[in-house]
Amino acid sequence: MTGFQTSTPAETIPAADRVRLYGPEFQKDPAALYARIRRQYGGVVPVLLDGDIPAWLLTGYREIHQVCQDSQLFARDTRRWNQWGNVPEDWPLLPYVMHNPSVMFTEAAEHRRRAGAIGDALSAVDQFDLSAHCERIADRLVDEFAGSGEADLIAQFSQQAPLLALAKMYGMPDSEAPALVRDVALSLDVGPEALPAYVRVQEAMARLVAAKREQPGADVPTAMMQHPANLTDDEVVQDLLVVTAAAQQPTASWIGNTIRLMLTDSRFAMTLSGGRGSVGQALNEVLWHDTPTQNFIGRFATRDTVLSGVRVRQGDLVVLGLAAGNADPHARPDAAAGALGNHAHMSFGHGEHGCPYPAPEVAEVIARTTVEVLLDRLPDLELAVPAENLVWRPSVWMRGLESLPVVFTPVHVAGPGPW
């Protein structure tokens, strides 16, 4: 391991010695890249983000744990970043670092106030009722393609299920759910429709909060509005946007990646024959080996410090390499044995700014129920293309498939039921 020791300040590391988190090598096989640079640099790697913006990538499980645990030294407010002068106005990653008044960028007591309200609101969700809703949602989605004998399980299934479940948790009218699904998907993309779609999602959340102010219900927005944290309506809108984005793409990719695993790994063959016993194991294994949130921006050093022998300057951006950390040989479960009951992965983050409890449990209810219904309804699913032809989305942040084409025996359905 070469590494950069304490005598090497971050700003003196030339671009040629930094690893690019974009381009052909990264897109082709990010796992191999993480393994190589961990061997070369250790747990803290000098990288360049798209546009050659310098940052540090954490590839070690221990380093990620340390940074996530110390929210005073490695803080969340992106206004601390020392590279703002080098960031162009059209930087494609700007939406992930531009400060806004949501829980995402709060710190200390203010973060605990906002995150506590979200956690308590999600704790009030009846998970048995949620599971029943997810069964109906998954059944309805399967109904729409069951008779054709073929489907793209990303576009027609996994991308839709999480937000339809969230719409129920939000107490939204059924009529608004399809538009929300479409606009959230567009807002998380990098195309020209992303910003207009985000504005529409924000407007939808504002309308929802206004409606719940007039007519409260047994739902997440009402619970947040009535919480002792005394959130303003604008704070509720902003934080609902965060919950919506966090629930959509990561959970959709979790579902899609799990189905892919079950279609390509012989250990889960019995699940495809009608058994459910392996679904939970497959979900957990995906969090270790194909975690939906691959990297996360991030944390910002509040002062000069040393992290695993590397000098990190005040204001430096530290990217949490969650996929790389999960693959750290010092932490990763034996690949031959599978993940089994080991839930010590970093897929939901860690520490004060990790995914607030019980959000991971809620996501698991949605993912597990959705996958189980699909396999019960279509037990002879097969990939329609060779596994090696599946294409992963070109994202530095998310690990998910572009599409998952499958074939199966067509099933006659009487007609679509209610959501």
| pLDDT (tens digit per residue) in 354-381 | 888 899 999 999 999 999 999 999 999 9
**Could you tell me which of 95, 143, 130 has the C-alpha nearest to residue 411?**
143
Question: What does the pLDDT read at residue 336?
Answer: 53
Cβ neighbours of 147 (radius 10 Å) = 10
Structure tokens at 3: 């590494």
249, amino acid identity: Q
| pLDDT (tens digit per residue) in 227-252 | 999 999 999 999 999 999 888 889 99
Q: Which of 106-115, 293-302, 328-337 has the lowest mean pLDDT?
A: 328-337
Question: What does the pLDDT read at residue 51?
Answer: 87
Its pTM surpasses 0.85: yes
CA distances from 25 to 33, 72, 278, 295 (A): 7, 35, 33, 16
Question: What does the pLDDT read at residue 8?
Answer: 46
Instruction: Report d(CA 285, CA 290) in Å as an integer.
Output: 8
Structural contact between residues 287 and 254, judged by C-beta atoms closer than 8 angstroms: yes
Instruction: Report d(CA 34, CA 268) in Å as an integer.
Output: 27
Question: What does the pLDDT read at residue 6?
Answer: 41
Cβ neighbours of 1 (radius 10 Å) = 8
Structure tokens at 77: 């407010």
The residue assigned the tokens 């576009």 is 155
Q: How far is CA 157 from the centre of its chain?
A: 17
Residue 4 clears pLDDT 70, i.e. is over it: no
For the chain, give the percent of residues with pLDDT over 70. 90
List all residues 6 or more positions away from 407 whose beta carbon is below 8 Å from its beta carbon.
149, 150, 381, 382, 383, 384
Residue 406 clears pLDDT 60, i.e. is over it: yes
- How confident is residue 131, by pLDDT bands cut at 50, 70 and 90? very high
- How confident is residue 341, by pLDDT bands cut at 50, 70 and 90? low
Residue 11 clears pLDDT 70, i.e. is over it: no
Question: What does the pLDDT read at residue 173?
Answer: 83
Phi, psi at 181, each rounded to 5°: -55, -45
**Could you tell me which of 334, 329, 325 has the C-alpha nearest to residue 62?**
325
**Could you tell me which of 88, 2, 11 has the C-alpha nearest to residue 56?**
11
Mean pLDDT of 272-300: 85
CA distances from 301 to 11, 255, 315, 355, 369 (A): 14, 34, 5, 21, 40
Averaged pLDDT of the chain: 89
Mean pLDDT of 278-299: 91
Mean pLDDT of 342-347: 82
**Could you tell me which of 320, 171, 195, 188 has the C-alpha nearest to residue 248?**
188
**Could you tell me which of 153, 180, 158 has the C-alpha nearest to residue 169?**
180
| Residue 232 or residue 98, greater confidence | 232
Question: What does the pLDDT read at residue 337?
Answer: 54
Cβ neighbours of 126 (radius 10 Å) = 11
Mean pLDDT of 67-86: 96
Question: What does the pLDDT read at residue 199?
Answer: 86
| pLDDT (tens digit per residue) in 184-217 | 877 776 667 777 888 898 999 999 999 999 999 9
